[in-house]
Structure 1
Amino acid sequence: MQRVLLLLVFLSLFQCKQSETSEALPSIDGKSTYTISFENAVHHEALVNATFSGIPTGEFEFRMSRTSPGRYALHEFMKNVYDVKVTDDAGNALETSRPDPYSWIVNGHNGTVNVSYILYANRGDGTYAQVDETHAHLNIPATFMYAPVLANNEIEVTFNVRKDFNWKVATQLKHLEGNTYYARDLQYFMDSPTEVSNHSVRSFDVGDQKVNFALHHNGIEAEFDAYFESVKKVVLQQEAVFGELPKYDYGEYTFLGCYIPNASGDGMEHRNSTIVTSTRSLANGGLSGNLGTVSHEFFHCWNVERIRPQSLDPFDFEEANMSGELWFAEGFTSYYTNLMITRAGLMTPERYVRGLTGGFNYVWNSPGRQFFNPIEMSYQAPFVDAARSVDDINRNNTFISYYTYGSVLGLALDLSLREQNLNLDDYMKLVWNTYGKVEDYYTVKDLHTTLNAYAGAEFGDAFFNNYIYKSGMPDYERLFKTVGINVTKNDNRVSFGGFIRNQVITANVTMGSSAYNAGLEKGDKLLKVGKTTLTETKSLNDAISQYKPNDTVTVTYERLGEVRTTQLTFQKDPSYSIALSDAENAEAKTNREAWLGAK
């Protein structure tokens, strides 16, 4: 691989695109240099030193990011930074001011500004940082301050590892020497999570490139060997979808795995790497249970990282990017997550089909479809993607995850295309060749146009007009039948319409449901349904199992200390059951094998 040539071509493309989408930064001969040390790891602290050199005279700004690549909400990393000291290259304190909670303005510098601070870090996932005696798990935006004026300039970082813990460094950053690494600019630096720990590494070659897995865990090497064999199978099935791996910037892709008790379960994609974290060890179900995150995040190295929405580039470290394409970027990736595991022979078709049921019912029985289509659901990401709020919200009635919504639409599109002797794999490959491979950003309109080019305007227009620009439901009964699957409604049963724990309704009841129409609400404690008194041993499900749709009963409940009654009329259970058909024909079986079989 001609790595130098590829790097120059990419850098040229990146700078061209950035100039088209944001105000160009002045060209300066500056540099950002960092060191990070972990002497007080036992108390979750890291000491960061940053040197910003070659900066213009006048006011100089440095700041902490408010966002992290792969996340779509604000996270306010500044809250974990303290003991900030600002000096010149001679160690003299510099005058600073604080225009907002995230940044500093420096006056009177001589072209170099040194900044030191303590970082508190104790969440090991795909967004934050965690420092303790087991590792330094570093998402870059949560760890390092940056200088906006140096965004297009080179960055070097040295990780002062704890030799007493046998720590070493795993990252997609370019290795220079020792524990010093390089990023060509701020966008690449911020997109380069780093795991510093006593981890193990496995690698295999795919063509002229290498796929690595750096795993920090408490298991044995034989478990990692077995797990990595499964990872390899998933990687190769995903390569088969697109016909090739992306050209990684330095010829390598690295999984950064933390399967340890003090981690938080997560996964986060990056250009040439991904973080995958879990509290589930390989010995305790992780050999199969952790593969879903691996499959999802690796698919992103095509879909999102290179097949990239215009709305996500350049990534904004001061405000949340809003994207209407997440139903495709995240949702279609979610569709392929378990499909790839099944094609790799690591999940049975029966289990795969059963697994479709939960997401299917969640999407098609949600009241949220009356408020937002898939594009508008994607717009909600800044409020739901690990975002936090303290006021009560009504998301269970108004929001459908773009992950799940896009996944069931990806399923429908795949089966619809297969009716036409086409398939979603080849559509994805066309999107890859048109946009991702050449790193040209796309919009929803581009996805629509590409589907028209692949399957014809009548087919493409029908799909987008009914299911993307509107919230219609495809004819799944017909589509599933083509691959020997039955989908049936459970309308011989009744439904209540709310989540119950210890007799208390724990979330807003579903709009239009039996409970909603009866005026019941979150926080109500159910005491009696008809003649049945609810107790620890007599649940709501026990009480309602004797009723049929349209039956009316008196419900006694307690609200704000007052006992009340209401009349509740039971509605049909709106859920669906999905299962392999007992009487499938040979054609349907052949179609299913073509869909779920190895490529």
Structure 2
Amino acid sequence: MTPSIHFTLSFSEPQAHYVEVQMHIKSFASLDYLDLKMPVWAPGSYLIREYPKNVERFSASSTDGKELKAYKTSKNTWRVEHKKSDIIITYAVYAFENSVRTSHIDYSHAFLSPVGVFMYVHDHLHLPCLVTVNLPSHWSKISTGLEPEDNLNSYSAANFDILYDSPLEIGNQDSWTFEVEGVPHEFAMVGFADYDREQLTADVTKIVAEENRIWGSNPNQHYTFVTHNYQSAHGGLEHLNSTILAASRYTYSQPSTYKGYLSLVAHEYFHLWNVKRLRPKALGPFDYEQENYTTGLWIMEGFTSYYDNLIIRRCGFYNEREYLQQLAIDFNTVYNRPGYELQSAAMSSFDTWIKQYRPDENSHNTSISYYNKGAMLAVAMDIKIIADTQGQYRLDDVLKAAYKQFYLIENRGFEEEELLQLAEKVTGVSLREIFQAAHRLEELDYNTYFNRVGYQLIDQNANQNHTTLGVKVVFSDGKSIIKQVDRNSGAWVGGLNVEDELIAINGHRIDPLGKALDYILTRAKDGDILHVLIARDGIINSLDITARLSDKKAFSIEAISNEDPKVSALGDIWLSKN
């Protein structure tokens, strides 16, 4: 018989945040021992999260109830000595971390991130598996991308890669189903929120239809959206045929925040193609025990970040002004971090394992996000293709062709050079300068791109003479606490530290509303020496800090007046005005 795995999930103590797991390993060849492993990270969230830390009460037995010797050999490996073909593993997982990438269980529901719940047999990720859920009496629903079986509350996966890409939401979520171009989509809302089912269905249908148009076909047999509604939250994680979203429960009542939520939906759904199927070679098959390095996240996340708001524009949710404001945020985010002079988009991708998800007080000085920088490179690429081909092609055509070639035909990951060559072949446009820019610190002149479609990137702060200390201050409990110090600012050179309490400057007591600080900085000139009184670890200190002109940017993207009609027509294509 073919070996297989049958998991059974039970919830005897959901209020204490536990799921009990039984793992029935069937028809396995007789060996001296089996090594059971749990992943240490979740695909799509590039950080070693050490999921095995939440495992307890591990035991092993034969099917006749005889206890088997079991012990750990590494942080995520349990060894079971046996001579039988069938064995039963039991363990419990503690789950009480609210995020889209970690499991959370309480009396009201269970959200299970599968990488932190299900173990696999070493070197046997290919085995099929079945998951059966024993629902507590007060829960009634299961939402997942797994395939439902005839058995009550049972779901199957052809292998562990599919299982690990299929989270489960279990509880009493408000869920409904609608079809988009023949594909059923489930929408599940967890937690109280004031949303309109009909409006959500209509709006998400538009988004799905537009993304289907971009990519040419939809790979799903069915798809599941799960949204966790909190007091304050925003984020998402893509999966093979589902996504987990986090939103504020108040998101749906305000047009601006609701459009932001729709952009999040567009972003995660776009990942169906871009990263889950069209992907760099390093991103699958996965090694679940250690980092999987790639320099290509500026393409996978950056391009997706460019398209999420563009799709919302194409669907008519954003007007032109709103869309350009959203796009300008990427430029402001990158150029207001001194780290853009130290880290390229490609290196940001490679270092995501140690930087992106582990920010500290100095991160803005040393790094950027491949999300924002990748979006900037994507808009340059899209505009260049549109302008060079007089609107015949755009970035959509590159993605569609790449998806067809690398996934539908060859079913493999790509090398970055291969993607560049395919893009140039499809469009007939030289794009090497943009791909190279992803690996360099030198910046593209983005206005050479924007101008070609009748727009310009303008720094509204360019002629402003604002002086600054170069710090970010948070006012808390009547104290003014420094939380960031900008590289090469007056504060940086003069020795102000994060966690210093600002007490006074030039004899003016710093108040919790920041009025004194504003007063001093609006009157200071570039090069003025400011006498700063601080408390550092309970010790009073005085420092002389040089006021300097602020280099903070405030970019906007605006139409160029009196432009050539042909150029304006290209701008209309870019912004989907036609």
Same fold (TM over 0.5): yes
- Give the conservation status (yes or no) of the 8 Å contact 1:515–1:568: yes
Is the aligned partner of 1:493 residue 2:465? yes
Partner of 2:311: 340
Shift of residue 514, structure 1, vs aligned partner: 3.3
1:454 and 1:559 map into 2 onto residues whose CA distance is 62
2:193 and 2:44 map into 1 onto residues whose CA distance is 29
AA matched with 2:238: E
Structure 1 524/305 Cα, relative in aligned 2: closer, same or farther at 3 Å? same
Is the aligned partner of 1:474 residue 2:444? yes
| 5+ long unaligned stretches in structure 1 | 1-27
Is the aligned partner of 1:576 residue 2:554? yes
1:270-285 to structure 2, matched below 5 A, reads 270-281=239-250, 283-285=252-254
- Give the conservation status (yes or no) of the 8 Å contact 1:234–1:340: yes
SS at match of 2:265: helix
> What do residues 193-220 of structure 1 show as CA deviations (whole Å, max 9, x unaligned)?
1111223333333334333323334346
AA matched with 2:422: T
Moved more, 477-486 or 554-563: 477-486
1:542 and 1:310 map into 2 onto residues whose CA distance is 55
Match of 2:22 among 29, 49, 52: 49
AA matched with 2:97: R
Shift of residue 333, structure 1, vs aligned partner: 0.5
AA matched with 1:541: D
- Give the conservation status (yes or no) of the 8 Å contact 1:201–1:213: yes
How many residues are paired up?
560
Is the aligned partner of 1:520 residue 2:496? yes
1:86 and 1:570 map into 2 onto residues whose CA distance is 66
Structure 1 385/570 Cα, relative in aligned 2: closer, same or farther at 3 Å? closer
Shift of residue 486, structure 1, vs aligned partner: 4.6
SS at match of 2:413: coil
SS at match of 1:291: helix
Q: TM-score, normalised by structure 1?
A: 0.87
Match of 1:536 among 507, 512, 523: 512
Is the aligned partner of 1:185 residue 2:159? yes
Q: TM-score, normalised by structure 2?
A: 0.90
1:385 and 1:34 map into 2 onto residues whose CA distance is 34
AA matched with 1:272: N
- Give the conservation status (yes or no) of the 8 Å contact 2:227–2:245: yes
- Give the conservation status (yes or no) of the 8 Å contact 2:303–2:378: yes
Partner of 2:208: 235
- Give the conservation status (yes or no) of the 8 Å contact 2:240–2:276: yes
Shift of residue 533, structure 1, vs aligned partner: 4.2
> What do residues 255-290 of structure 1 show as CA deviations (whole Å, max 9, x unaligned)?
1222245x9643111111111122424554464342
Structure 1 or 2: more strand by fraction:
2
Shift of residue 398, structure 1, vs aligned partner: 1.0
Partner of 2:413: 441
Partner of 1:116: 90
- Give the conservation status (yes or no) of the 8 Å contact 1:311–1:322: yes
Structure 1 393/577 Cα, relative in aligned 2: closer, same or farther at 3 Å? closer
Partner of 2:5: 32
2:343 and 2:371 map into 1 onto residues whose CA distance is 14
Shift of residue 160, structure 1, vs aligned partner: 1.1
2:57 and 2:300 map into 1 onto residues whose CA distance is 40
2:577 and 2:237 map into 1 onto residues whose CA distance is 26
Partner of 2:238: 269
1:484 and 1:138 map into 2 onto residues whose CA distance is 46
Partner of 1:215: 189
AA matched with 1:329: M
Partner of 1:304: 275
| 5+ long unaligned stretches in structure 2 | none
2:460 and 2:304 map into 1 onto residues whose CA distance is 27
Match of 2:128 among 154, 161, 176: 154
- Give the conservation status (yes or no) of the 8 Å contact 2:490–2:545: no
SS at match of 2:120: coil
Partner of 1:107: 81
1:469 and 1:346 map into 2 onto residues whose CA distance is 34
AA matched with 1:473: E
> What do residues 490-549 of structure 1 show as CA deviations (whole Å, max 9, x unaligned)?
13232432211136453342212233233333233334445654222425334212345x
Identity of aligned residues (%): 25
AA matched with 1:449: Q
- Give the conservation status (yes or no) of the 8 Å contact 2:530–2:544: yes
Shift of residue 377, structure 1, vs aligned partner: 0.9
1:176 and 1:212 map into 2 onto residues whose CA distance is 17
Structure 1 437/85 Cα, relative in aligned 2: closer, same or farther at 3 Å? same
AA matched with 1:512: N
SS at match of 2:101: coil
AA matched with 1:566: D
Partner of 2:56: 82
1:577-592 to structure 2, matched below 5 A, reads 577-581=555-559, 583=561, 585=563, 587=565, 589-592=568-571
- Give the conservation status (yes or no) of the 8 Å contact 1:480–1:487: no
Is the aligned partner of 1:255 residue 2:225? yes
Shift of residue 254, structure 1, vs aligned partner: 1.7
Structure 1 200/501 Cα, relative in aligned 2: closer, same or farther at 3 Å? closer
Partner of 1:418: 386
- Give the conservation status (yes or no) of the 8 Å contact 2:356–2:369: no
> What do residues 14-52 of structure 1 show as CA deviations (whole Å, max 9, x unaligned)?
xxxxxxxxxxxxxx8311111101231122121111111
Structure 1 565/394 Cα, relative in aligned 2: closer, same or farther at 3 Å? closer
SS at match of 1:237: helix
Match of 2:301 among 322, 330, 338: 330
1:39 and 1:47 map into 2 onto residues whose CA distance is 8
